[in-house]
């Protein structure tokens, strides 16, 4: 009964969110170590053009593409591995050729072979070098967005700010004008942004190109980790985003929700609709979202949007009213 009342209370004309999509995972799978990067097709994989086509046909227009920094650039300040670079280029080409945005996502948590950016082994200049090279490869395509790093954590936030600003300078010095997504520290959680030192330090992001948005992640379980098959309440998503939304608005800043998801339950359906209504109602701040996740190796993962036995997962229906009419 309560859920029915909430559904009625929240009902309004939602309409599509400008950028709505999914993380196409697989290239970040598996462990890495010096001289042990894993084998493509056994330890990790890349999403396919067929998956892009499927989600475009459902109305999605953005794909966040996680990959491992170490596989792309096995040695700091050195050229990219040719085969890995070709794999990344292929999925980016598939997404952008379909008219969608491709978000590059070094899925490394501000680490490289386990060492934190800013440590002597991984100087900030090496992180800037990664982004200078990526900007040179992908900067000519405005449909490619640059997600600086997945979920920095357990490091001084001022150190992460220094690395982010160095990467922004490197991207712009390479001539790239692409939109850049800048995460915060502390796993870049929206719920903790204004109660952590992200609010202080990340207000000091400096983009010479003046074309960036803050990337945050938000899950709806008890600790915002996305590791529990639960939803705290039907309104928890909007509640956890609210303070961050206002923080951005006061600064004239844009935001992007790089990861969110719910299980296939009635509570999940109501809660994700409430969260996405918050994005829609605050479109002066929010560019859009990417669901976590799809990709060929997820199996029965509770949040997977990957079709199973030729059929969409239940959560695909939860998103439908926020997507544009599909092309398929």
How far out from the chain centre does Cα 261 lie? 12
12, part of any domain = no
- Could you state, in chain order, the average pLDDT of each consecutive group of 10 residues for the chain (328 residues)? 43 79 98 96 98 98 98 98 98 98 98 98 98 98 99 98 99 98 98 98 98 98 96 97 98 98 97 98 98 95 96 98 83
What pLDDT is attached to residue 325?
A: 85
CB 170 within 8 Å of CB 131: yes
What does the angle CA 128 – CA 85 – CA 51 come to, to the nearest 5 degrees?
115
14: CB partners within 8 A, 6+ apart: 273, 276, 277, 280, 321, 322
Number of structural domains, the chain? Answer: 1
Residue 241: name the closest of 186, 287, 181, 286 by CA: 286
224, part of any domain = yes
Active site residue 151: yes
Active site residue 259: yes
Question: Which one of the listed residues 51, 84, 151, 306 is annotated catalytic?
Answer: 151
Residue 255: name the closest of 277, 284, 278 by CA: 284
CB 156 within 8 Å of CB 193: no
**Which pair of structure tokens corresponds to residue 107?**
């899925």
Q: Which domain holds residue 218?
A: 20-322
Residue 69: name the closest of 161, 172, 164, 149 by CA: 149
What pLDDT is attached to residue 210?
A: 98
1, part of any domain = no
Q: Using DSSP bridges, classify how beta strands 111-112 and 115-116 pair: parallel, antiparallel or unpaired.
A: antiparallel
What pLDDT is attached to residue 5?
A: 40
Task: Specify the long-range contacts of residues 228-233, CB closer than 8 Å, at least 24 apart.
Answer: 229/263, 229/302, 230/263, 231/262, 231/263, 231/265, 231/267, 231/268, 231/271, 233/271
Angle between helices 266-281 and 2-10 (to 10 degrees): 20
Question: Which one of the listed residues 28, 70, 84, 259 is annotated catalytic?
Answer: 259
Q: What is the pTM of this model?
A: 0.95
37, part of any domain = yes
Strand partners, 181: 147, 213
226, part of any domain = yes
10, part of any domain = no
What does the angle CA 132 – CA 136 – CA 142 come to, to the nearest 5 degrees?
110
CB 195 within 8 Å of CB 201: no
6, part of any domain = no
What pLDDT is attached to residue 109?
A: 98
What pLDDT is attached to residue 9?
A: 41
94, part of any domain = yes
DSSP summary character for residue 287: E
Give the integer Cα–Cα distance in Å for 21 and 102. Answer: 10
Q: Among the residues of the chain, which ranges form H helices?
A: 2-10, 49-57, 69-72, 82-97, 124-138, 157-173, 198-201, 236-251, 266-281, 314-319
Here the CATH number for the domain that contains residue 32 is 3.20.20.80
């Amino acid at each position: 009964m309560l859920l029915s009342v909430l559904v009625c209370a929240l009902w309004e004309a939602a309409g599509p969110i400008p950028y709505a999509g999914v993380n196409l995972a697989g290239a970040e799978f598996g462990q890495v170590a010096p001289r042990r990067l894993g084998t493509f097709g056994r330890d990790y994989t890349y999403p396919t053009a067929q998956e892009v086509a499927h989600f475009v046909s459902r109305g999605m227009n953005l794909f966040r593409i996680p990959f491992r920094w170490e596989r792309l650039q096995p040695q700091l300040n050195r050229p990219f591995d040719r085969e890995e670079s070709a794999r990344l280029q292929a999925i980016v080409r598939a997404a952008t050729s379909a008219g969608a945005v491709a978000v590059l996502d070094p899925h490394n948590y501000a680490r490289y072979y386990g060492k934190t950016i800013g440590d002597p082994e991984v100087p900030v200049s090496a992180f800037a070098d990664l982004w200078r090279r990526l900007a040179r490869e992908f900067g000519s395509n405005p449909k490619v967005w640059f997600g600086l790093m997945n979920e920095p954590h357990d490091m001084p936030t001022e150190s992460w700010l220094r690395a982010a600003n160095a990467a922004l300078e490197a991207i712009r010095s390479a001539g790239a004008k692409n939109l850049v997504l800048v995460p915060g520290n502390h796993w870049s959680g929206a719920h903790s942004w204004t109660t952590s030192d992200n609010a202080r330090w990340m207000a000091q992001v400096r983009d010479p190109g003046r074309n960036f948005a803050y990337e945050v992640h938000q899950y709806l379980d008890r600790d915002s980790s996305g590791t529990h098959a639960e939803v705290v309440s039907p309104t928890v998503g909007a509640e956890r985003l609210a303070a961050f939304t206002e923080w951005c608005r006061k600064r004239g800043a844009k935001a992007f929700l790089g990861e969110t998801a719910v299980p296939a339950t009635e509570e999940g359906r109501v809660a994700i609709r409430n969260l996405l209504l918050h994005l829609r109602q605050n479109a002066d701040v929010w560019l859009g979202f990417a669901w976590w996740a799809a990709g060929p190796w997820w199996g029965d993962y509770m949040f997977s949007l990957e079709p199973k036995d030729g059929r969409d997962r239940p959560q695909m229906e939860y998103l439908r009213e926020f997507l544009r009419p599909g092309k398929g």
